[in-house]
Amino acid sequence: MAMTTLRHSDLQTLPISFTLNGKLQELDVEPHELLLDVIRDRLGLTGAKRSCDVQVCGACTLLVDGRPVSACTTLAFEVRGRSVMTIEGLAENGKLHPLQQAFIEHGGFQCGFCTPGMILAAKALLDQNPHPTEEELKHFMHGNICRCTGYKKIIESIMAAAKNISEATH
Amino acid sequence: MLRRFRLEEPTSVAEVSELLGRFGDSAKIYAGGTELLLAMKEGLVQYERLVNIKGVTYLNEVKQNNGEVHIGALCTHRELENSPLVKEKLPALAKLEENVANVRVRQVGTLGGNLCFAEPHADPGTLLIALGAHLVAEKGDGKREVPAESFFVDAYETALEPDEVLTRIIVPVPAQPSGICYMKFGYLERPSVGLAVAVKLNSGKTAIDDIKIAVGCAGPAPKRVAEAEAFLKGKSVDEATRTIPEAGETAGRASQAISDLHGAQDYKEHIVQVLLKRSFQNALSQCT
């Protein structure tokens, strides 16, 4: 494998703009910068967590144009022109999202490390399938790992949130 | 941690091919990045340049063309799992795609990238071999079709030339009465064994007119197990059903299974036998 170290004169920066939790962000990134590092270290939003670093655990889940991605394995330039949501952008005007409320009421978390990714993945699911069966829920969420709860209460939380969202809109 | 690299953003296949030819081993095509970036983060491979192929817009279409489905190499697993055309014409492929990794990987990972990376523990190549798919490789003004069964050379190695680009996957729509089934088994994130069966019956549905069987994940590359196919072809449905354990043993031996983290060789051979029995039964049940 050809291996060289790029010279300083080869440095490449890409100007990107995207919306982060509804607000326009404009910054320069290098091609190799990962979305997770940009969001956490440069923009200071630490809700998304680095854990497995190989797209297995879901702790770094963010929504890009409403769809869940692993920020640990997404190059930052890929979100140019797109809309990114982190857990910090979910509550509106201090009012928790029904999913956040349901996770509190149904004990959907213990240590909380997986919770931002869990809730964002669940939001992506409910946005495209407001009334999932438990099987559909498990299939969609199986890439989000929790080592505390045993999942039962997470499933209960999401099912309760689905019900609450649907009742609130009817 | 990723090392620095430069990004190239061509907008045509010819440009992609030219860049690959010009920079050789120091450049690599980047599509979804779901496998490439992991290997780069681990430091297993390093590239001076990544060639982002996603700017080549027409590579993400799924189209019907006479008796074939043409799948653009940049289609994501998620797009294929939800494609009405794939669901209707190739339901076994839609189902396979629905079960690749997890939803985040399926969201960005592409079928073409999956095939070209040729990670041994992947799903799609195995089914595409059983379906008799052809892969279209392009460079400059040249174009050729490679049968899926000769595309995979070894672990992480394909039949593509250094400046060739996989642009399209052509899958013939199976003639009826037929049944297609892909099954996998594993206890880690990736499967230990994947197995695909495509069976075509005679018009009276009493005998095996044709059958293709492919095994993946067990060895370095997915492969057809012609010995097991020959054993079953021409048999009556009843006899084939009765002797399927024997076919499974043959398939296990022919799978060139290797011992690795995902299981010992004899264990994998046994799983091949079990999966062949189950997927054969499933495929037969589709021949209505």
Is the predicted pLDDT of residue B140 greater than 90, yes or no? Answer: no
Residue B82 carries which side chain, given as an amino acid letter? N
Task: Tell me whether residue B7 is exposed, middle or buried, using C-beta atoms within 10 angstroms of its C-beta: 0 to 12, 13 to 18, 19 or more.
Answer: middle
Is the predicted pLDDT of residue B225 greater than 60, yes or no? Answer: yes
Instruction: Identify the domain boundary among A64, A89, A114.
Output: A89
The verdict on A124 and A71 lying in the same domain is: no
The verdict on A80 and A28 lying in the same domain is: yes
Q: What CATH number is given to the structural domain containing A77?
A: 3.10.20.30
Nearest-by-Cβ selection for B103 from A33, A73, A143: A143
If you search the block for the tokens 């993400």, which residue do you land on? B60
Residue A1 belongs to a domain: no
The verdict on A68 and A106 lying in the same domain is: no
Q: What are phi and psi of B64, to 5 degrees?
A: -95, 135
The verdict on A112 and A161 lying in the same domain is: yes
SS3 state of residue A15: strand
Residue A153 belongs to a domain: yes
- Residue A62 is part of which domain span? 14-89
What mean pLDDT comes out for the span B198-202?
98
Nearest in space to B67 (alpha carbons), one of B141, B176, B156 = B176
The interface predicted TM-score (ipTM) is 0.94
Cα(B75)–Cα(B80) distance, integer angstroms: 7
Mean pLDDT of all residues belonging to chain B: 97
The verdict on A107 and A129 lying in the same domain is: yes
The verdict on A75 and A132 lying in the same domain is: no
The 8-class DSSP code of residue A87 comes to: G
Domain count, chain A: 2
Instruction: Identify the domain boundary among A52, A71, A89.
Output: A89
At A9 the pLDDT is 56
Q: How would you classify residue B189: left for phi > 0, otherwise alpha for psi between -120 and 50, otherwise beta?
A: alpha
The verdict on A24 and A62 lying in the same domain is: yes
The CA-based dihedral angle spanning residues A60, A63, A68, A69, taken in that order and rounded to the nearest 10 degrees: -50
pLDDT digit string, tens, across residues A95-145: 999 999 999 999 999 999 999 999 999 999 999 999 999 999 999 999 999
Is the predicted pLDDT of residue A1 greater than 50, yes or no? Answer: no
Q: Considering just the CA atoms, what is the radius of gyration of chain B in Å?
A: 19
What is the model's pTM? 0.96
pLDDT digit string, tens, across residues A16-65: 999 999 999 999 999 999 999 999 999 999 999 999 999 999 999 999 99
According to DSSP, the β-strands at B193-201 and B178-185 are antiparallel
Beta bridge partners of B154: B157
Cα(B262)–Cα(B187) distance, integer angstroms: 8
Q: pLDDT-derived band of residue B4, with 50, 70 and 90 as boundaries?
A: very high
The answer to whether the CB of B8 falls within 8 A of the CB of B19 is yes
Distance, C-alpha B226 to centroid of its chain: 17
The verdict on A120 and A65 lying in the same domain is: no
The verdict on A40 and A73 lying in the same domain is: yes
Alpha carbons within 13 A on the beta-carbon side of B14: 3
Give B3 to chain A, closest Cα distance, Å: 7
Q: Do A1 and B45 touch (CB under 8 A)?
A: yes
Q: pLDDT-derived band of residue B288, with 50, 70 and 90 as boundaries?
A: confident
Cα(A23)–Cα(B57) distance, integer angstroms: 28
Residues of A in contact with B102 (CB under 8 A): 55-56, 58, 142-144
Task: Tell me whether residue B231 is exposed, middle or buried, using C-beta atoms within 10 angstroms of its C-beta: 0 to 12, 13 to 18, 19 or more.
Answer: buried
If you search the block for the tokens 């939790």, which residue do you land on? A21
Name the residue in chain A with its Cα closest to that of B38. Answer: A54
Q: Do B102 and A53 touch (CB under 8 A)?
A: no
Residue A157 belongs to a domain: yes
Give B32 to chain A, closest Cα distance, Å: 9
Residue length of chain A: 170
At B238 the pLDDT is 98
The verdict on A26 and A53 lying in the same domain is: yes
Residue A2 belongs to a domain: no
Packed helices A134-141 and A115-128: angle between N→C axes, nearest 10 degrees: 130
At A2 the pLDDT is 46
Residue A7 belongs to a domain: no
Residue A3 belongs to a domain: no
Residue A5 belongs to a domain: no
The verdict on A62 and A116 lying in the same domain is: no
Beta bridge partners of B260: B263
Beta bridge partners of B33: none
Q: Which domains does chain B have, with CATH numbers?
A: 6-55 (3.30.43.10), 57-172 (3.30.465.10), 178-285 (3.30.390.50)
Instruction: Identify the domain boundary among A89, A107, A136.
Output: A89
What mean pLDDT comes out for the span B44-56?
97
Q: pLDDT-derived band of residue B189, with 50, 70 and 90 as boundaries?
A: confident
Helical spans, DSSP H, in A20-151: 35-37, 98-105, 115-128, 134-141
Inter-chain Cβ pairs, chain A and chain B, closer than 8 A: 75
The verdict on A106 and A59 lying in the same domain is: no
pLDDT digit string, tens, across residues B110-131: 999 999 999 999 999 999 999 9
Residue A151 belongs to a domain: yes
Nearest in space to B250 (alpha carbons), one of B288, B200, B206, B215 = B215
Q: What CATH number is given to the structural domain containing A134?
A: 1.10.150.120
Q: Check whether the bond before A132 is cis (ω within 30° of 0).
A: no
Q: Which of A52, A56, A80, A138 has the most B C-beta neighbours within 10 Å, making it the best mutation to test the interface with B? A: A56
If you search the block for the tokens 């196919």, which residue do you land on? B229
**Quick one: what percent of chain B has pLDDT higher than 90?**
97
The CA-based dihedral angle spanning residues A28, A31, A35, A38, taken in that order and rounded to the nearest 10 degrees: -40
Cα(A14)–Cα(B276) distance, integer angstroms: 50
